[in-house]
Amino acid sequence: MKHYQILIIGGGTAGITIAAQLKRKDSTLQIAIIEPSSKHYYQPAWTLVGAGAFDFKDTERNEADYIPKGVDWIQDKATGIDPDLNQVSTANSGNFGYDYLIPVPGLVMAPELLPGLTEALDKGVVCSNYTDPEHTWEVLKNFRGGNAVFTQPTTPIKCGGAPQKIMYMAEEYFRKSGVRAKTNVLFATPGTVIFGVPEFAKTLNKIIHERNIIFKPFYAPVKIDAEKQEIYFQYSKPGESNCTIMEGNPLGEEIIGATEIKVHYDMLHLAPPQMAPKFIQESKVSIQEGPGKGWIDVDIHSMQHKRYPNIFSIGDVANLPTAKTGAAIRKQAPVLVENLLKMIQSGKIGQKSYNGYSSCPIVTGYSKMLLCEFKYDNVKDSDPLISTFVDTTKEQYSMWLLKKYGLPFMYWNLMLRGKA
């Protein structure tokens, strides 16, 4: 059985960034990355692909070009972790031993958790930027009016703002293509507010109001009927045992029973339910019961596993009370790297601490963006340098340029190289 000093599961944003930073700080480290995919995607641009503002092929690169020099690439799928034996099993390459493990495989799409979605997804008028953004763009171009429904599931998802970004861009596109007057744009979310950070929510609420977008909080999608083009929502407002329909009922909503609502859609965009990969859920590294079940059990400041001190994790699969974004990984990775290196050198974990920083660049149209930056407890945490020049609580053209050109450049050339 091959043994590594540091074994990383996952060659996505987190895995590559961590490996690159570790190698930059200590080139003698013996590191391997387990990653089956030969392609690496810059997923934040998929929002723009779905709106016809970015070319899909520009989001794809070869994984081999980003595996840091001196790091072994095990091109295989991890299938199990035994933290008591310090071993990882793979589909085809046998078992691997480790001194330190960094499981960062990201999360997986789980459309099967929403009845009817597996049959409907990426076909006809049902689309998702999470799975096939090019299909989203086809749906937008072919849309001729009616109910344009945008929604998200009750599970945690990567980039919590993405389901509404495409909605703003679609609404602008409908105006350009002349169908807006005969269209209802609906944003339905199981959440309680449009955005968790009050300073940014204020701006987004104003945009929704000015652009006549119908916003429905407490709407949790529970079922899709692709044949009839209907989606069912459970009205989940605490303390309310029945729901009412808005005056005039522009959407043609139907109440089924006390708390279920049926809406016809002429196009439907949604984030599928998402979960940790099965091998993570089935391993002792995940939380076994209660809140956070199935996600990796790490300390929210040090990134160290709460029960296995030689395991560290960040990113989408870690149980951290912040948004699952690449921006969060950019701040989490240096914390993990420093704390792990100190542990290798001295046997004691380092003191570096993560404050929950994440950012959600919310594109609100084809040339405008709101850069929402925040930390734990939904506290606004805007970059002091950017804030000197721009009011980040307002839509900005400069932030749109950052999203379209600046962030992809930074991702490929700095972040994945361990420089940012």
Q: What is the pLDDT along the chain (420 residues), one digit of tens a residue?
A: 999 999 999 999 999 999 999 999 999 999 999 999 999 999 999 999 999 999 999 999 999 999 999 999 999 999 999 999 999 999 999 999 999 999 999 999 999 999 999 999 999 999 999 999 999 999 999 999 999 999 999 999 999 999 999 999 999 999 999 999 999 999 999 999 999 999 999 999 999 999 999 999 999 999 999 999 999 999 988 887 777 777 789 999 999 988 999 999 999 999 999 999 999 999 999 999 999 999 999 999 999 999 999 999 999 999 999 999 999 999 999 999 999 999 999 999 999 999 999 999 999 999 999 999 999 999 999 888 777 888 989 999 999 999 999 999 999 999 999 998
Question: Tokens at residue 251, please?
Answer: 């959407």
Which residues face 399 on adjacent strands?
A: none
Q: Give me the helices (H) in 102-161, please.
A: 117-120, 133-142
Catalytic residues: 159, 360
Taking only the tens place, the pLDDT of each residue in 278-323 is 999 999 999 999 999 999 999 999 999 999 999 999 999 999 999 9
Distance of CA 394 to CAs 160, 169, 181, 207, 390, Å? 19, 17, 26, 10, 8
Class of domain 111-273: alpha beta
Question: Tokens at residue 110, please?
Answer: 């789980």
Taking only the tens place, the pLDDT of each residue in 329-338 is 999 999 999 9
Give me the helix-helix angle, 133-142 and 162-176, nearest 10°. Answer: 30
Q: What are the DSSP E strand ranges found in 238-394?
A: 254-256, 260-264, 267-270, 274-275, 358-363, 369-375, 379-380
pTM: 0.96
pLDDT of residue 247: 78
pLDDT of residue 239: 81
pLDDT of residue 245: 79
Residue intervals of the chain classified under CATH 3.50.50.60 are 2-107+276-358+408-417, 111-273
CB atoms within 10 A of CB 170: 23
> What is the edge-to-edge ordering of all strands in the sheet holding 78-82?
72-74, 31-34, 2-9, 95-103, 87-90, 78-82
Which residues face 62 on adjacent strands?
A: 39
pLDDT of residue 218: 95
Which positions ≥6 away from 227 have C-beta within 8 Å? none
Q: Which residue has the tokens 């959440």?
A: 191
Q: Which CATH number fits domain 2-107+276-358+408-417: 3.50.50.60, 3.30.300.30, 1.10.10.10, 3.30.420.40?
A: 3.50.50.60
